[in-house]
């Protein structure tokens, strides 16, 4: 792997950049791999990367039906935070956030992690109390957050209206080391890192069937032919139910479209991420200058990956009340991504009823922030054959045992 | 330099002079000008700076596809960034500023990026700015953010109004060019209701400028005739300045009407967002001309050929004295003719095709204009505007054959249908090998619920660029749309266009074909984002081979024009780099809106007081007059407390509690949810939805009920009253009534549709007043009309009657532990009753109290509050409410879930009371009890958390409730609560019922 640096950039400039090599290889699938990961999104690629890096397992293929990073990794609003309430969530999201901090250097690919801070507004007494609880939980979990006053909210986010007529801002939960990253770069950086360590990333290769015998999984059928494997890990977010069906089991997830939009770019006016849960909306400003806005998920199940309008108006109204200056900005584009929602809004990482098949899904509306931690924990599980400390609480059987990890109290809306 | 011609200008009215300003300079234009045409008429070629390299940018197009001419329009709270000058109608007093430069448009420091462009190829930022780690946040990113971003961010709220329109129509025609008009007429004459919208301020599109003749009349007259005919039809509605923005499932279309942009401050409505349900949508959206990729094609003065003739014909603007036309099509020759007809010079037409021929070519040659076949542009000369072009052989590598001085270059790269609306909702495209564009595949339209295509393309939007074919297609489309909806009066007549079709265009994706890296690095694809041919080639080389990867890696097509000019050229370059055919490479996804629409329009009227309107109880105004401090609860506002004079909130709460517990208090409980559940199966239904047995409740009696989710978690509570054998009144939490009602309906409609049950949310039909305290009964008795003795109305009973002349329903229930009556009264009589109670209770010092006193009093009694003691993870048993979970019923929602191992675990968190060692210390909300150990994650281990915590004036000490692991076994233990500053507060685990454990106060 050719190292990226300002020096290599200068060197290449002199020869019209003719010497840059492919960021990741594009091999044909082999007949068999030790481990196949289905889904080359952030989570799948990170899993492959950490399998190779942390566990030396490189006879691995990542199969992708479209183009890598083309699902929710490339559609989300790029928020990274770890201010979760429950200890289990706090542990894995904080692991992820910590890995994000050094990821550009580790991958030698600038993923532009920008710890510009995440502000979660409190706009009712109830929300204030809930956030106070979260702040206490975060402190004890070693996650740096603090409750801040409305005046401090205004100081950090000058464009905010804190004395709005309907839901004045009563305070905020501030995570100074949360922020955003360039979502595509996360996928590309992991792909490049995994590929350099020998992982085969195979795009345009849809899994059409899963082969199993009495002892468990034996391989997959794909649009590029059958591929055998010893272990199979399904990391396909909104399509998890479809893959589970091929493998012969059911998942407690529903797939719905989550809506997002961006405005036209403007000069910097807001550094941090602001989430307004009472009115339902969140917003940050990308390095390009676009206001990146997210809101609710559609109220019906589907797989279309399209934007629909009914949630946008609510989201935009909420944000205009919170940031009156955005009213004269223009919506550039809006879209949807299919998120896989579990009953407790926490992910599933674990074994499945089929021996040899593992799953990582259910990140719902908040998967991007978890990518490094999720990949790290999933790789550990695949390497050892059993979930480690971080992944263990998120097993599939928690639903049959009633061992929920419910985060809805901490984030009543989409993450 | 561009200038105004002495004559002509189809759209401008020279008798109406308008003054406007650009970057503070006063300029004038005419009525009918766009800001772009007026700027050009004033010689303002340089209008902005590009995004990445801050290169000088001029106007390149004349319509919605313009990528460069973005201005900050208006001032103060009416400033709008990034407005396209090409679609901005000029008005008197317009003020515009150019964007993305410092210190000035002429001299921009950021232009240093252009000098360094070789070092800043596509994606350079992914390869650098990584060391040291902190530098990204503190150094690199701030600089990048500042240099990006285009227009200034508004700083103030928006004073303008926006509104929604709703429309249902049979056929929606998007686009009012000749195809749209023809399609609309065909559909309307078939009998369909038609809504025709046009984004521009005129109908007719390009037809007049392009010299189209239909049915023997010139286009302008033909268009006027169509508009007149359509306007006269009762089933047709025509709208200008209205753009179809997005197409969604089931034929749902949003339209964006710029109703007040020409009249800022005076127009009653700035933008309207239309939400249309159309049986069929006809996309008559026309086509957009493609630029050509040659070095320096981004210089001010290089324009689309069609735009050049638009500016000449519509606005009498000369783009410069000498215009070189560079073309891959016959259509470019129309521009040459238009320029010459305006009395301007065309030094050469450079046709990339080896053997151009046909009537247009002949006409140009006949005018003595030099036509160079097989030629192209090696390079444009000039920095802030074009000074000339270097001509080369298109087939070669760019060796300069000749230098031709000129002020304008007109590019004619061929036309691409506007397929956005077709594609928004899943319509598929075909690659046309002859015309070199993607066009809608009529066999794969976006489909509705019935599986039928709901969109139809018309005119050039379908593919044919020849007027006659486009018109025939449009009439057929309009007819087909109407026919699909059952409207058919036979085949309509197809208007005939004069002239012959243009010859086939050439596919010119790089000029010259063999251009080396130097030229490719100056040939721009995306003018706004500064994406060059070399960038797309680099992306392909580095493995970003999917068109989506290329887009995201290079930012091609991600500018505010969303690739309207750049996408086809870009993906042709990509396809060439990959050695894959264009259709295999495919397009990026077309997302709504077609062009950006204001967020204000998306929000509509729901802002300020109309944003989530406050629900008001019938007694709301009294609270306001009494100086209530408000607390939002659901959509309501409830009084938090009623401070007197200088009283602190805490003092007010304590006073309200003491007055209630020692005398009598009054609470507006109208916000409580009230749902009537009736029908023969009502009792059976409630047995399924509540954990309690409700069927055993006697008529006239009340029971505290719990509702759980399928997972067994408690989500709402309230008192259920049996009004009659088959009707119940279910009280819910204030914030929960809509949710509970929807929950009931969901189960009734999807699971238990066989039950004969009707539910009705009557929350707002009744006011409800709680009169609470030892003197409550005497106050009511003095009002008279009902026997409220303990015998006549015992605890948990209901009585109906008249109180002081007002018909009421009285529930003897208590959320405070006091003797308490909740009086329901028709909403219109609630205020009268409230006033009556206040007057009658005055002698007893009757005291209205707010939500905080309510909370403290319920906590003193150990009563739970949904949302405080519950958080979606709590089952009734955790809250010592196992008694309310029926063991007799065979089923209820949550029953099976409660049997799961984690829900029967004795170490679950259970509700306990807490008494701090220091009675003056009120534990913080949400504080956690810690064990002093670390857990498996290395976090401090927690045992539980505070759910409610208050100062109790009644007990003169702090009280709290907490959910603590294995709590019921910990009675008497002292727990350590970690405070924010790390100190530990010790608290003893006690029974959560702090006051009157035997219920003597209410049992009187």
pLDDT digit string (tens) for A189-238? 999 999 999 999 999 999 999 999 999 999 999 999 999 999 999 999 99
CA distances from B398 to B304, B325, B393 (A): 22, 18, 7
What is the structure's pLDDT at A409?
62
pLDDT confidence of residue A415 = 34
Q: Which of A188, A287, A329 has its CB closest to that of B145?
A: A287
Q: Is the ipTM of this complex over 0.95?
A: yes
CA B75 vs. chain centroid, Å, equals 25
Q: How far is Cα A63 from Cα A185, in angstroms, rounded to an integer?
A: 19
Please write the tens of the pLDDT for every residue from B943-984.
999 999 999 999 999 999 999 999 999 999 999 999 999 899
The encoded tokens of residue A136 equal 């206490």
Chain A contact for B900, CB < 8 A?
yes
- DSSP for B135-183 reads HIIIIIHHHHHHHS--BPPP-S-----EEEEEEEEEEEEE--BHHHHHH
Strands B957-965 and B940-952: antiparallel
pLDDT score of B355: 95
Q: Do B151 and A265 touch (CB under 8 A)?
A: yes
A268 → closest Cβ in B145, B160, B606: B145
Nearest to A282 by CA among A127, A76, A85, A98: A76
Ranking A48-57, A289-298, A369-378 by mean pLDDT, the lowest is A289-298
pLDDT at A408: 72
Could you tell me the end-to-end alpha-carbon distance of chain B, in angstroms, rounded to an integer?
Answer: 96
- pLDDT given for residue B996 in this prediction: 95
Q: Give the chain B residue nearest A398 (alpha carbons).
A: B902
Mutate to test the interface with B, among A136, A180, A293, A412 (most CBs of B within 10 A): A136
A325/chain B closest Cα distance in angstroms: 5
Q: What is the mean pLDDT of residues B96-101?
A: 92
Label residue B121 by pLDDT band (50, 70, 90). very high
Q: How far is A79 from chain B (nearest CA, A)?
A: 15
Q: Based on C-alpha coordinates, what's the Rg of chain B?
A: 37
Please report how many Cα atoms fall inside a 13 Å half-sphere around the Cα of residue B993, on the Cβ side: 10
Residue A413: its pLDDT value, please? 34
pLDDT > 80? residue B627: yes
Measured between CA atoms, the residue of chain A closest to residue B590 is A333
Instruction: Tell me the nearest-neighbour CA distance from A78 into chain B, angstroms.
Output: 15
pLDDT at B682 over 60: yes
- Strand A146-148 versus strand A227-234 pairing type: unpaired
Inter-residue contact B660 to B774 (CB < 8 Å): no
At B929 the pLDDT is 98
pLDDT of A382 > 90? The answer is: yes
* Span A291-347, pLDDT tens digits: 999 988 888 898 988 888 888 999 999 999 999 999 999 999 999 999 999 988 999
B791-820: average pLDDT: 96
| Residue A196 phi, psi (nearest 5) | -65, -25
Q: What is the pLDDT of residues B209-252, one digit of tens each?
A: 999 999 999 999 999 999 999 999 999 999 999 999 999 998 99
What confidence score (pLDDT) does residue B182 get? 98
Q: What is the mean pLDDT of residues B636-641?
A: 95
Rounded average pLDDT over B635-657: 96
Q: Which residues neighbour B843 within 8 Å (Cβ) at sequence distance 6 or greater?
A: none
Structural domains in chain A, CATH included, are 29-78+183-252+344-411 (3.50.50.60), 112-177+255-341 (3.30.9.10)
- Per the DSSP assignment, residues forming a β-bridge with A173 are A120, A147
Strands B629-633 and B636-641: antiparallel
Beta-carbon separation of B151 and A331 below 8 A: no
% pLDDT > 90, chain B? 92
What is the tens place of the pLDDT at every residue in B153-193?
Answer: 999 999 999 999 999 999 999 999 999 999 999 999 999 99
For the stretch A335-364, pLDDT in tens is 999 999 998 899 999 999 999 999 999 999
What are the Cα distances from residue A286, in Å, to A77, A280, B305, B623? 9, 20, 35, 45
pLDDT tens digits for range B402-438: 999 999 999 999 999 999 999 999 999 999 999 999 9
Contact A405, A89 (CB under 8 A): yes
- Burial of A21 from C-beta contacts in 10 A (0-12 / 13-18 / 19+): exposed
Structure tokens at A373: 């931690």
Cβ contacts of B270 within 8 Å, gap of 6 or more: B160, B161, B162, B258, B259, B260, B261, B264, B598, B600, B601
Pairing of strands B847-848, B820-826: unpaired
pLDDT at A414 over 90: no
Using the predicted structure, report yes or no on whether residue A165 has a pLDDT greater than 90.
no
pLDDT band at B101 (very low <50, low <70, confident <90, very high): confident
Q: Does B599 touch chain A (CB under 8 A)?
A: yes
Interface test with B, best of A76, A128, A330, A411 (most B CBs within 10 A): A330
Distances (CA, A) of B327 to A267, B306, B356, B911: 37, 11, 10, 80
Torsion of CA B331, B333, B336, B341, to 10 degrees: -90
pLDDT-based confidence at residue B143 (cuts at 50, 70, 90)? confident
pLDDT of residue A268: 95
pLDDT by residue (tens digit) across B826-884? Answer: 999 999 999 999 999 999 999 999 999 999 999 999 999 999 999 989 999 999 999 99
pLDDT cut 70: percent of chain A above it:
98
All structural domains of chain B, each given as residue ranges with its CATH number in brackets, are 3-125 (3.10.20.440), 162-287+417-498 (3.50.50.60), 291-413 (3.50.50.60), 508-598 (1.10.10.1100), 621-671+766-858 (3.30.1360.120), 673-764 (3.30.70.1400), 904-1004 (2.40.30.110)
- For the ranges B103-107, B401-405, B717-721, B760-764, which has the lowest average pLDDT? B103-107
DSSP secondary structure code for residue A81 in this structure: -
Determine the Cα–Cα distance for residues B556 and B536; give it in Å rounded to an integer. Answer: 8
Set of chain A residues whose Cβ sits within 8 Å of the Cβ of B142 = 268
Put simply, the answer to whether B130 touches A5 (Cβ < 8 Å) is yes
The answer to whether residue A412 scores a pLDDT higher than 80 is no
Residue B147: pLDDT band by 50, 70, 90 thresholds?
confident
């Amino acid at each position: 792997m050719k190292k990226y640096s300002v020096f290599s950039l200068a060197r290449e400039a002199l020869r019209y950049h003719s010497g840059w090599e492919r960021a990741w290889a594009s091999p044909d699938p082999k007949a068999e791999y030790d481990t196949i990961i289905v889904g080359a999104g952030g989570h799948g690629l990170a899993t492959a990367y950490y399998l190779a890096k942390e566990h030396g397992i490189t006879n691995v293929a990542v199969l992708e039906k479209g183009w890598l990073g083309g699902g929710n990794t490339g559609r989300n609003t790029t928020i990274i935070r770890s201010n979760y309430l429950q200890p289990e969530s706090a542990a894995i999201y904080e692991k992820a956030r910590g890995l994000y901090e050094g990821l550009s250097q580790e991958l030698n690919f600038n993923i532009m992690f920008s710890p510009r801070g995440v502000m979660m507004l409190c706009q009712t007494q109830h929300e204030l109390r809930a956030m106070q609880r979260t702040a206490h939980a975060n402190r004890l979990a070693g996650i740096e957050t603090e409750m801040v006053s409305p005046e401090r909210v205004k100081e950090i986010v000058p464009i905010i209206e804190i004395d709005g007529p309907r839901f004045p801002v009563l305070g905020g939960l501030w995570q100074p080391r949360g922020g955003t990253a360039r979502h595509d770069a996360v996928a590309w950086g992991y792909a490049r890192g995994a590929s350099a360590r020998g992982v085969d990333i195979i795009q345009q290769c849809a899994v059409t069937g899963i082969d199993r015998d009495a002892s468990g999984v034996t391989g997959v059928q794909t649009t590029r032919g059958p591929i055998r494997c010893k272990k199979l890990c399904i990391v396909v977010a909104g399509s998890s139910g479809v893959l589970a069906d091929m493998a012969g089991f059911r998942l407690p997830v529903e797939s719905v479209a989550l809506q997002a939009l961006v405005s036209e770019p403007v000069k910097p006016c807001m550094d941090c991420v602001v989430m307004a849960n009472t009115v339902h909306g969140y917003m940050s400003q990308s390095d390009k200058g676009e206001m990146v806005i997210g809101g609710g998920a559609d109220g019906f199940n589907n797989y279309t990956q399209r934007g629909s309008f009914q949630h946008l108006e609510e989201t935009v109204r909420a944000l205009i009340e919170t940031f009156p200056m955005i009213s004269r900005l223009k919506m550039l584009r809006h879209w949807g991504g299919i998120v896989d929602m579990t009953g407790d809004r926490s992910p599933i990482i674990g074994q499945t009823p089929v021996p040899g098949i593992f799953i990582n899904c259910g990140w719902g509306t908040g998967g991007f922030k978890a990518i490094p931690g999720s990949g790290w924990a999933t790789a550990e599980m695949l390497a050892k054959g059993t979930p480690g400390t971080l992944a263990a609480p998120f097993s599939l059987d928690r639903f049959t045992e009633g061992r929920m990890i419910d985060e809805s109290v901490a984030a009543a809306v989409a993450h | 330099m561009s200038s105004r011609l002495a004559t002509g200008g189809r759209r401008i009215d020279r008798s109406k002079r308008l003054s406007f300003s650009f970057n503070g300079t006063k300029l004038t234009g005419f009525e009918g000008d766009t800001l772009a045409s007026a700027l050009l008429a004033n010689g303002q070629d340089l209008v902005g700076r590009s995004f990445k390299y801050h290169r000088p940018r001029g106007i390149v197009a004349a319509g919605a596809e313009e990528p460069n001419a973005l201005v900050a329009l208006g001032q103060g709270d009416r400033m709008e960034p990034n407005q396209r000058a090409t679609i901005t109608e000029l008005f008197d007093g317009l003020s515009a500023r150019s964007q993305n430069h410092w210190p000035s448009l002429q001299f921009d420091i950021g232009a240093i990026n252009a000098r360094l462009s070789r070092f800043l190829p596509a994606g350079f930022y992914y390869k650098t700015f990584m060391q040291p780690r902190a530098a990204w946040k503190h150094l690199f990113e701030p600089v990048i953010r500042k240099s990006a971003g285009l227009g200034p961010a508004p700083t103030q709220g928006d004073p303008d109004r926006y509104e929604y329109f709703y429309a249902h129509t049979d056929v929606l025609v998007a686009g009012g060019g000749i195809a749209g008009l023809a399609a609309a007429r065909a559909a309307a004459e078939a009998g369909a209701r038609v809504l025709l919208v046009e984004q521009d301020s005129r109908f007719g599109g390009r037809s007049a400028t392009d010299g189209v003749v239909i049915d023997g009349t010139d286009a302008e007259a033909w268009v006027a005739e169509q508009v007149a005919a359509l306007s006269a039809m009762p089933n047709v509605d025509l709208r200008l300045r209205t753009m179809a923005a997005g197409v969604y499932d089931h034929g749902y279309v949003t339209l964006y009407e710029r109703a007040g942009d020409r009249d800022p401050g005076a127009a009653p409505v700035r933008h309207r967002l239309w939400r249309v349900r159309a049986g069929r949508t006809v996309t008559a959206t026309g086509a957009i001309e493609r630029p050509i990729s040659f070095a320096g094609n981004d210089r001010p003065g290089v324009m689309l050929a069609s735009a050049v003739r638009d500016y000449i014909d519509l606005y009498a603007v000369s783009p410069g004295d000498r215009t070189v036309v560079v073309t891959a099509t016959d259509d470019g020759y129309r521009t040459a003719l238009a320029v010459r007809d305006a009395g301007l010079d065309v030094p050469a037409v450079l046709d990339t095709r080896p053997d151009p021929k046909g009537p247009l070519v002949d006409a140009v040659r006949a005018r003595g204009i030099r036509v160079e076949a097989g030629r192209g542009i090696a390079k444009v000369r000039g920095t802030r505007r074009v000074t000339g072009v270097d001509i080369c052989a298109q087939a070669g590598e760019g060796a300069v054959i000749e230098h031709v001085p000129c002020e304008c270059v007109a590019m004619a790269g061929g036309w691409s249908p506007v397929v956005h609306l077709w594609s928004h909702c899943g319509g598929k495209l075909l690659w046309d090998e002859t015309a070199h564009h993607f066009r809608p595949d009529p066999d794969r339209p976006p489909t509705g619920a019935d599986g039928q295509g709901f969109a139809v393309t018309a005119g050039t939007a379908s593919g044919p660029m020849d007027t006659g074919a486009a018109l025939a297609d449009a009439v057929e489309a309009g007819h087909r749309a109407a026919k699909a909806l059952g409207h058919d009066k036979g085949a309509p007549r197809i208007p005939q266009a004069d002239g012959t079709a243009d010859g086939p265009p050439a596919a010119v994706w790089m000029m010259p074909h063999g251009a080396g890296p130097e030229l490719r690095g100056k040939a721009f694809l995306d003018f706004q984002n500064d994406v060059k041919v070399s960038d797309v080639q680099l992306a392909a080389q580095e493995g970003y081979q999917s068109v989506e990867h290329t887009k995201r890696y290079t930012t091609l097509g991600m500018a505010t024009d969303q690739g309207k000019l750049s996408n086809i050229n870009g993906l042709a370059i990509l396809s060439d780099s990959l050695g894959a055919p264009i259709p295999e490479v495919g397009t990026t996804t077309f997302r709504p809106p077609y062009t950006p629409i204001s967020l204000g329009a998306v929000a509509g009227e729901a802002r300020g007081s109309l944003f989530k309107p406050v629900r008001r109880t019938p007694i709301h105004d009294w609270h306001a007059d009494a100086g209530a401090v408000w607390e939002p609860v659901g959509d309501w506002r409830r009084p938090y407390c009623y401070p007197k004079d200088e009283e602190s909130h805490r003092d007010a709460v304590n006073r309200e509690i003491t007055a209630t517990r020692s005398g009598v208090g009054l609470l507006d409980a109208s916000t409580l949810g009230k749902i009537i559940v009736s029908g023969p199966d009502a009792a059976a239904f409630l047995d399924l939805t509540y954990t309690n047995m409700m069927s055993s409740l006697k008529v006239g009696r009340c029971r505290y009920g719990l509702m759980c989710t399928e997972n067994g978690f408690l989500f709402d509570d309230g008192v259920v009253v049996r009004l009659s054998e088959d009707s119940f009144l279910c009280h819910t939490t204030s914030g929960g009534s809509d949710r509970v009602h929807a929950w009931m309906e969901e189960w009734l409609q999807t699971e238990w549709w066989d039950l004969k049950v009707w539910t009705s949310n009557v929350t707002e039909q009744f006011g409800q007043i709680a009169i609470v305290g030892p003197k409550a009964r005497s106050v009511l008795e003095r009002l008279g009309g009902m026997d409220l003795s303990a015998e006549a109305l015992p605890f948990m009973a209901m009585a109906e009657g008249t109180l002081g002349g007002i018909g009421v329903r009285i529930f003897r229930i208590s959320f405070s532990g006091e003797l308490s009556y909740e009086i329901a009264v028709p909403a219109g009589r609630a205020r009268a009753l409230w006033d009556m109670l206040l007057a009658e209770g005055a002698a007893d010092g009757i005291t209205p109290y707010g939500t905080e006193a309510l909370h403290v009093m319920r906590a003193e009694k150990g009563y739970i509050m949904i949302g405080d003691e519950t958080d979606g993870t709590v089952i009734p048993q955790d809250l010592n409410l196992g008694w309310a979970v029926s063991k007799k019923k065979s089923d209820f929602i949550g029953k099976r879930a409660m049997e799961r191992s984690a829900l029967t675990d004795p170490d679950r968190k259970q509700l306990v009371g807490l008494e701090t060692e220091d009675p003056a210390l009120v534990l913080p909300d949400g504080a956690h009890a810690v064990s002093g150990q670390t857990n498996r994650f290395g976090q401090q281990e927690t045992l539980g958390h505070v759910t409610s915590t208050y100062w109790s004036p009644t007990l003169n000490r702090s009280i709290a409730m907490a959910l603590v692991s294995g709590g019921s076994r910990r009675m008497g233990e002292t727990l350590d609560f970690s405070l924010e500053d790390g100190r530990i507060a010790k608290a003893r685990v006690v029974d959560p019922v702090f006051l009157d454990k035997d219920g003597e106060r209410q049992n009187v």
